[in-house]
Structure 1
Amino acid sequence: MNISPIVVSLRTAAISIFITFFLGIFLAYLVMKIKKEKVRAVIDALLTLPLVLPPTVVGFILLYIFGTGRPIGAFFLEFFRVKIVFSWGATVLAAVVMSFPLMYRSARGAFQAIDENLIYSAQTLGISQSRIFWRVILPSAREGVISGGVLAFARALGEFGATAMIAGNIDGRTRTLPLAIYSAVMAGNMEEASKYVILILLLSVVIIIYINRLPYLESFGLKRRKK
């Protein structure tokens, strides 16, 4: 079995979750602080959009934005000598975009579930907003945030459609586990495809077991079971 898709997938998922984790927390907190409900609703919809769009549509949009013939893609190529499309970086970009909504929604749901009296008490003590976030809000929401991170990691690991559109299916560079399964099936190599499928199933089971050991996500309308 060729291990390069495993290495590419794990590298992609590891880098993408590092970006998604902190970006999701930051934007969830910022959106929660917006006072105007209509503005908050519009921003929230835009940040959640990749969750409901078909992955191939997201991939097409990314390809349209970062293609070498487009302004942003041409800018990176001319000034940084970086070609985004059909590179390993494109696999990370696709994974971040597709997994971000899960991290964002989970973090926002966890923040909204915090008892506001804790925040008000900290404010009356004269604690700065940044310290309130790090000492009160984030610790109180840590279980929901961790759950969101695990879900986002799993989503990045299983990303297929957007990755195929913007990164391609280049063996040893952009071929992730889902793309390796597709390639093996198309080549009639069912034995190799089965090995990749078993590996992904095992990883998925481990992730599900870990999530089940954490409190259920408020953002999905579920509550922790009472003992």
Structure 2
Amino acid sequence: MTFIQSVEWHPVILSLKVALISLIAVSCLGLPLSRLLARREFFGKEALEAVLTLPMVLPPSVLGYGLLMFIGKNGVLGKLLNGMGISIIFTWWAAVLASTVVAFPLMYQSAKAAFNSVDVNCEKAARTLGASEARILFTITLPLAWPGIMAGLVMSFARALGEFGATLMVAGNIPGQTQTIPLAIYFAVEVGDNATAKSLVAIVTAFSLLVIFLANCWGRKNK
């Protein structure tokens, strides 16, 4: 039996799908928020930033329990969705939510640092020349901040791909439905299926190295 034939590909495909959707979500949320908080000062900003980055330091089990209380049958969002006949608990969408929550702080922190590194005088000069805020953002701010943003994207994708604890609590380990690579590896080792575990470890390691290698090549090319 070849290596390709011996691998159970559903966890691989599901993990990539979950990580990509999570990456889109953290980008859509993290970039506007980091841009706003990098340029604005207001009362309670530090408290808001503490909340946004809290998932970075909380144990995965705590995050998982919090999400369970939020999207479970008796949770705030869970009750609302159940009233519409929708349930995301123990589905792959719950895995997306868990991965998004744990990956968001990495995107936010990297993007905020990138925006802070952009010289404000460049933006001010563009404004004096009549450039709109949208044009300044897309022609000055984003290009200058892009290396840092790219680093955030890579780290967020890797974090979402490797999420385990919170995913297990809200999505469970349902083979063929919610079983991601980390879950598949853990339970394969637990039952003594070392062949499956080794195959999945090799795949995720090779893929992660490829992503980092391509990101480094891109960064070197755009210096």
Deviates more, 1:27-36 or 1:56-65: 27-36
Write the mapping of 1:100-179 to structure 2, written as runs, cut at 5 A.
100-179=104-183
Unmatched 5+ stretches in structure 1: 216-223
Alpha carbons 1:20, 1:99 under 8 Å: kept: yes
Question: What code does the residue aligned with 1:175 have?
Answer: Q
Work out the CA distance in 2 between the residues paired with 1:49 and 1:101: 8
Q: Among 45, 58, 61, which residue is 1:56 paired with?
A: 61
Unaligned runs of 5+ in 2: 1-6
Which stretch of the first structure deviates more once superposed, 46-55 or 122-131? 122-131
Give distance in 2, aligned partners of 1:44 and 1:190. Answer: 42
Q: Deviations over 1:8-46 (max 9, x none)?
A: 10110111111111211111012123222x522111111
RMSD between aligned alpha carbons?
Answer: 1.7
Q: Which amino acid aligns with 1:202?
A: A
2:27 is matched with 21
User: After the TM superposition, which parts of structure 1 deviate over 3 Å for at least 4 consecutive aligned residues?
Assistant: 210-215
Q: One-letter code of the match for 2:176?
A: G
Q: Is the 8 A contact 2:172 2:178 kept in 1?
A: yes
Percent sequence identity over matched residues? 42
Inter-partner Cα distance in structure 2 for 1:212 and 1:54: 30
Instruction: State TM-score, norm by structure 1.
Output: 0.89
CA contact (8 A) 1:110 1:141 kept: yes
Conserved? CA contact 1:5–1:176, under 8 Å: yes
Give, as a single letter, the amino acid of the residue that structure 1 aligns with 2:15: S
How big is each residue's C-alpha offset from its partner over 1:163-222, in whole Å with a ceiling of 9 and x where there is no partner?
00111111111100000001101111111111111111112222332344465xxxxxxx
Q: One-letter code of the match for 2:94? A: A
Aligned to 1:7: 13
Count the aligned residue pairs: 215
- SS of structure 2 residue aligned to 1:205: helix
Q: Please state how far the C-alpha of 1:162 moved relative to its aligned partner.
A: 0.8
d(CA) in 2 for partners of 1:55 and 1:86? Answer: 16
- What is the TM-score with the length of structure 2 in the denominator? 0.91
Deviation of 1:130 after TM superposition, in Å, equals 2.6
Alpha-carbon distance in 2 for matches of 1:49, 1:213: 32
Kindly indicate whether the alpha-carbon contact (under 8 Å) linking 1:147 and 1:214 is maintained by their aligned counterparts in 2: no
